Structure 1
């Protein structure tokens, strides 16, 4: 192990920070036979969530033959075959074994497992692990190579402070993820009730109609977009491709395109102009199954892998129908074939439950829009929390920044 640098951090091999008895080792070669009440065996697929005990369990007799690969709380796990470099840490209360594709790292008392878990997941450490892997078709990290890999680290007190700070950040991120999942589930339940009339909003008593999408609007396919017309960042009309649905800011409304055209160009290519408030979606290719629907904010052209629903606004509110279509799996209409696609007959047949009162449609859309706004705000908070965590990792796990030592309570 090298000496301590000016920042108080040392550099050494992974072998230097592990317990000498069985520092780094592979798991069992043959984890079977699997038995209901046997010993848990952790595989690569389990590393991202070790709090959920693996369902694969080996018989005690098989496990006993590989006792050196037994893992206990605080052991670090690294995938070493196939998908190399995935990191796990064995949670408190867990005892089991690991498969042959996973290596165990057991640290000495001078090192904090949570710090090393965070360090080995960092971008810099992942680069080290990936460069150390060999193999063209199936990557592999040998135990000998792992032992020789070098990392920089501080003493244990600073390791613990860094680990706690990063764990706090992870807890916030996880809490936000759970909150988003909960809000999405609540919204889904609201959609199933409000968009079918099973639950009515106060003050509305008018009947609902059972219709089809073709009764409330018309579907139009997009137009071919020759390459010679592509690439302009300005023009009278945006020309949307399916990929534009991924653009930041286009999560609900299609407000920005990567390509624009002039009126003369539109006429030259014979592109169909879709009106403001049309609902657009993919109609050809695997993107159909992504179930993305968007609303145009201005008159636009769309490519021939997309289609638009142009509503009769005297019968249907665009935001209500948007939510209804979001709740309808268009992929279920696709016939088995080489290329997934939707045709006009299928689209016109989509069932629609519709309040005859436009105000009720608008109120339902507003309630669901509020739910979307809550989820969007939480997603923004999550993005900021993840950005903060990235910055903390870059600063704290490199020694560029140090956490102050907390004063003892008086």
Structure 2
């Protein structure tokens, strides 16, 4: 740690005040209401004025496990939920409140979570939070860090807007082309089948180059725009020997049972591989473009076909007979090409956002450790940029 950095407790530099607003009883109004969720609610009354860093006092997971999803920064007139403590700077305390937010939010697992206590209901006391020790650089250094991260946050926000716009443009095009052609049965454009059970004893195996996908793989960042990589990788003969079946690249897959059906997630197979029994598979028939099949299914709600019961499920026979809007044959090839380009554009923009978020995290780790100094010349550079 460089010269000038000093260890301080939160109680030395901040006044800690518990929020007073019960979240469920709050009357919506003109003032922000800080809650544990990412997005604030509103309140007709305010409790605080100025700047504050807001720390939840209860674990985000419960059940005897200590965890914290986020710490909030807020300024102006605002209310705070009664399970959150607001930290406000004491007079003449050498701390920039945005810096304190960056420090506590980024370092919450090291600084705050270890202070949580309890068995069934894990919580944090104000006394414990007040005793938390942090390392503060001189105020000019704090402000440089805040300025640098704020500039990066602006870049991330713009990249997120581009990513959202790319996905919405594709959805709009899908809606447009889905109204142009006739309706067809799913069976007439694709072979409907079910994945095969992935034995628990081999889950996670890395013994080959063919993936065997589970529904959980659908949520992985690298699979958001198509199935690429699975937790389980096996050889062809191993998969066949275990009763598996290879689904070709270009097929469309989606959840068959359970709550996952309600997520409406559909994925294009970008590589050959197996899928488990919780998937339904649509393998395109001759003349059916994969990108068009994916787009049509993305625009169709499978929830309406769910068979209710102890475990929600989709019936293959019902899927086969279901009629969906289809693209005019003369436009299918061009539509497939454009859909593929739009999906790739959306993927690239989402990947950029992920890379920028990783950069932000890594940069904060370095800057908050005191290992790297932002030169004073940065102030002039930032002034010229603005």
Q: CA deviation at 1:165?
A: 0.8
- For residue 343 of structure 1, what is the aligned residue in structure 2? 315
Distance 1:366 1:101 in 2: 52
Question: Which residue pairs with 1:135 in the alignment?
Answer: 118
Query: Which residue, 32, 45, 67 being the options, matches 2:36?
Result: 45
Q: 1:345 to 1:24 in 2, by over 3 A?
A: same
1:102 aligns to what? Answer: 84
Partner residue of 2:349 out of 361, 378, 381: 378
For the residues of structure 1 that align with 2:245 and 2:2, how far apart are their CA atoms?
Answer: 67
1:76 to 25, 35, 53: 53
Listed as ranges, the matches of 1:257-276 within 5 Å are 257=230, 258-263=232-237, 266=240, 268-276=241-249
Mapped partners of 1:30, 1:265: distance in 2: 54
CA deviation digits over 1:11-40, x for unaligned, max 9? 11112223xxxx222222768975565x74
Does residue 284 (structure 1) correspond to residue 257 (structure 2)? The answer is yes
Q: Aligned equivalents of 2:209 and 2:347: distance in 1?
A: 30
Q: Alpha carbons of 1:240 and 1:146: their partners in 2 closer, same or farther (altered >3 Å)? A: closer
Output the CA distance in 2 between the equivalents of 1:360 and 1:376.
24
Structure ID, larger Rg: 1
Q: How does 1:346-361 map to 2 (within 5 A)?
A: 346-357=318-329, 359-361=330-332
> How far apart in 2 are the matches of 1:318 and 1:6?
57
Q: Deviations over 1:356-396 (max 9, x none)?
A: 52x51121122222222221121121122112111211111
Listed as ranges, the matches of 1:108-147 within 5 Å are 108-109=91-92, 110-123=94-107, 125-147=108-130
| Distance in 2 separating the partners of 1:113 and 1:82 | 23
- Pick one of 171, 175, 180 that aligns with 2:158: 175
- 1:27 corresponds to 2:42: no
d(CA) in 1 for partners of 2:118, 2:201 = 43
**Which of residues 8, 11, 15 in structure 1 aligns to 2:4?**
8
- Cα distance in 2 for partners of 1:253, 1:34 equals 42
Q: Which residues in structure 2 correspond to 1:207-246 (within 5 Å)?
A: 208-227=181-200, 233-234=206-207, 238-246=211-219
Deviations 1:155-197 (A, max 9, x none): 1111111111111122222222222222222222221112221
Q: Which runs of 5+ in 1 are unaligned?
A: 64-69, 198-207
The answer to whether the aligner puts 1:149 opposite 2:132 as a matched pair is: yes
**Secondary structure of the residue that 2:17 maps to in structure 1?**
strand
Give the alignment partner of residue 368 of structure 1, picking from 339, 358, 379. Answer: 339
Q: Specify whether residues 403 and 338 from structure 1 end up closer, same or farther in structure 2 by C-alpha distance, changes over 3 A only.
A: same
Give TM-score, length-normalised by structure 1: 0.79
Displacement of 1:74 in angstroms is 1.6
| Distance in 1 of aligned mates of 2:348 and 2:341 | 11
SS at match of 2:8: strand
CA apart distance, 1:264: 7.6
For residues 82-124 of structure 1, the C-alpha deviation after alignment (integer angstroms, 9 at most, x for no partner) is 4475422222xx313323212122213432111111111122x
Where 2:49 maps in the other structure, the secondary structure is: coil
SS of the counterpart of 2:369? Answer: coil
Q: How far off is 1:298 after superposition?
A: 5.9
Contact 1:239 1:261 in 2 (8 A): no
Question: Aligned to 1:8, what secondary structure does the other structure show?
Answer: coil
Question: What residue number does 2:174 align with?
Answer: 191
Structure 2: unaligned runs, 5 residues or longer: 61-66
TM-score, normalised by the number of residues in structure 2 = 0.84
- Residue of structure 1 in register with 2:64 after alignment: none
